[in-house]
């Protein structure tokens, strides 16, 4: 029987994984500059965490979660998003005792049962950040800027930032009846999902990708903000202007998670299919409290790495991937093989990426292997080289060759 990977998953093979590593390197360096520290949480949590944190009427909880019962009869869910688990870790490990803002980032897989499409998988990967302990709107703007900088630094063009204020649950509850009154006359014309959401979560109707064209004159939540929400939103916009981060206000953008309050934002880019959202996030003022913590506000984002890579491919962006190998050793003869084994270990111990042939091939075939490995140099060890204590070091790009003593090879390769 020939086994195949499950639908909606992918094998990340050599030749492709280097692109993933590059994105992760950019993300880590960006977080270092923004003073975010890495956190790693389990890829599965108790199901109730996502029901309480994400929201029972969201698409994620209703239709997309991978949930199962373990041997202890406990309901377990593979994490569909990162924020709820990070917030749980923040509370459980008492990170709120830090007098400063707690700034965390993560990179890892998420799991959602949905129909695979361009850049969207059932096992997906996200780079995300979360900051807890401050309601300062400048922090919202900082995180928006971090995400925008990530796309710029990996070389993606044409990314736009859309922002909105989704206020508070109390304000949304007051707005709800007006929105239902607007949507009710067109209920039968809406898609099945929107018909279901209309009574239970009407704001999510405005975010529908199928029916969005119908809502041009829909009432705006921005017209119902209280003084605090309005001032907070204006301060976010002012901070983005100060940083010269381009954005547009989209009053119908609500995101797909119930925990958002005040600022919500998305990054969009054309060229990867019907769904153009490639990342997003927002502020959540009640999430920590809802999962058993104190009244700590947070703000964060999640960026899809699959969609990022698809955009890079679509835009034909050449990534700055370094050559994976510094030197390929080519020993000729039994004694040279013995020397190559020790030399290979010495080079690797000094930080040199090195490899040798293990197939017993002739010199010409070994040179071809060095070329396939994108080695910068080939180091030939024959009888004459052994007698003189040197390697014949050949630069693969130019063909230039020189003799280098064994004990000087690492120094030469580092230059």
327-347: per-residue pLDDT in tens? 999 999 999 999 999 999 999
Q: Can you tell me whether residue 57 is helix, strand or coil? A: coil
Distance CA 128, CA 280 (A): 9
Considering only CA atoms, give the Rg of the chain.
27
Distance CA 156, CA 312 (A): 6
pLDDT at position 282 is 95
Q: In the chain, where are the structural domains located?
A: 17-167+225-314, 325-414
Q: What are phi and psi of 244, to 5 degrees?
A: 60, 40
pLDDT at position 26 is 96
Q: Closest Cα partner for 312 from 266, 267, 265, 269? A: 269
For residues 304-309, give the mean pLDDT.
Answer: 94
Residue 410 reports pLDDT greater than 60: yes
The H or E element that residue 9 is part of is: none
Q: Out of 54-58, 63-67, 269-273, pick the least confident.
A: 54-58
Average pLDDT, the chain: 90
Fold of domain 17-167+225-314? BirA Bifunctional Protein; domain 2 (3.30.930)
Q: What is the pTM of this model?
A: 0.87
Q: What are phi and psi of 384, to 5 degrees?
A: -65, -40
For residues 396-400, give the mean pLDDT.
Answer: 94
For residues 399-404, give the mean pLDDT.
Answer: 96
Per-residue pLDDT band at 57 (split at 50, 70, 90):
low
pLDDT at position 384 is 94
Per-residue pLDDT band at 256 (split at 50, 70, 90):
low
Residue 362 reports pLDDT greater than 80: yes
Of 211 and 48, which is predicted with more confidence? Answer: 48
pLDDT at position 332 is 94
Chain centroid offset of residue 72 CA: 33
pLDDT at position 56 is 65
pLDDT at position 376 is 94
Question: Options 3.40.50.300, 3.40.50.800, 3.40.50.11310, 2.40.30.10; which CATH number does 325-414 get?
Answer: 3.40.50.800
For residues 287-309, give the mean pLDDT.
Answer: 91
For residues 214-221, give the mean pLDDT.
Answer: 78
For residues 258-286, give the mean pLDDT.
Answer: 86
Q: Residue 62 has what DSSP assignment?
A: I
pLDDT at position 210 is 72
pLDDT of 102-141, one tens digit each? 999 999 999 999 888 777 899 999 999 999 999 999 999 9
Residue 19 reports pLDDT greater than 60: yes
Task: Specify the length of the chain in residues.
Answer: 415
Query: 336-365 in b/e burial notation, b at 16+ Cβ within 10 A?
Result: beebbeebbeebeeeebbbbbbeeeeeeee
pLDDT at position 173 is 82
% of the chain with per-residue pLDDT over 70: 96
pLDDT at position 220 is 83
Q: What are phi and psi of 144, to 5 degrees?
A: -60, -45
pLDDT at position 217 is 76
Distance CA 195, CA 53 (A): 24
Residue 271 tokens read as 């060229």
pLDDT at position 273 is 66
Of 315 and 188, which is predicted with more confidence? Answer: 315
């Amino acid at each position: 029987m020939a086994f195949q990977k499950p639908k909606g998953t992918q094998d990340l093979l050599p030749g492709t994984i280097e692109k993933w590593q590059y994105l992760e390197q950019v993300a880590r360096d960006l977080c270092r500059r923004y003073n975010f520290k890495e956190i790693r949480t389990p890829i599965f949590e108790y199901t109730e965490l996502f029901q309480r944190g994400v929201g029972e009427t969201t698409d994620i909880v209703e239709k997309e979660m991978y949930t199962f019962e373990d041997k202890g009869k406990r309901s377990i869910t593979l994490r569909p998003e990162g924020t709820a688990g990070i917030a749980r870790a923040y509370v459980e490990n008492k990170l709120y005792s830090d007098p400063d803002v707690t700034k965390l980032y993560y990179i890892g897989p998420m799991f959602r049962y949905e129909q695979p499409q361009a850049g969207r998988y059932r096992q997906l990967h996200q780079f995300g950040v979360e900051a807890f302990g401050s309601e300062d709107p400048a922090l919202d703007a900082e995180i928006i800027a971090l995400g925008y900088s990530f796309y710029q630094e990996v070389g993606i063009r044409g990314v736009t930032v859309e922002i909105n204020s989704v206020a508070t649950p109390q304000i949304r509850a007051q707005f709800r009846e007006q929105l239902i009154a607007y949507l009710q006359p067109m209920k039968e014309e809406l898609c099945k999902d929107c018909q279901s959401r209309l009574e239970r979560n009407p704001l999510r109707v405005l975010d529908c990708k199928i029916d969005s064209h119908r809502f041009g004159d829909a009432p705006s939540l921005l017209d119902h903000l209280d003084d605090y929400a309005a001032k907070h939103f204006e301060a976010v916009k002012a901070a983005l202007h100060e940083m010269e981060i381009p954005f547009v206000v989209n009053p119908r953008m609500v995101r797909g998670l119930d925990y958002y309050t005040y600022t919500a934002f998305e990054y969009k880019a054309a060229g990867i299919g019907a769904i153009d959202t490639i990342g997003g996030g927002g502020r959540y003022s009640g999430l920590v409290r809802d999962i058993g913590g104190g009244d700590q506000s947070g703000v964060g984002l999640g960026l899809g790495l699959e969609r990022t890579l698809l955009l890079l491919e679509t835009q034909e962006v050449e990534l700055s991937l370094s050559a994976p190998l510094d030197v390929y050793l080519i020993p000729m003869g039994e004694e040279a093989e013995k020397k190559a084994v020790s030399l290979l270990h010495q080079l690797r111990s000094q930080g040199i990426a090195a490899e040798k042939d293990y197939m017993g091939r002739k010199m010409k075939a070994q040179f071809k292997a060095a070329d396939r490995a994108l080695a910068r140099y080939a180091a030939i060890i024959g009888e004459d080289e052994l007698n003189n204590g040197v390697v014949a070091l050949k630069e693969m790009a130019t063909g230039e060759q020189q003799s280098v003593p064994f004990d000087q090879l690492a120094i030469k390769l580092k230059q």
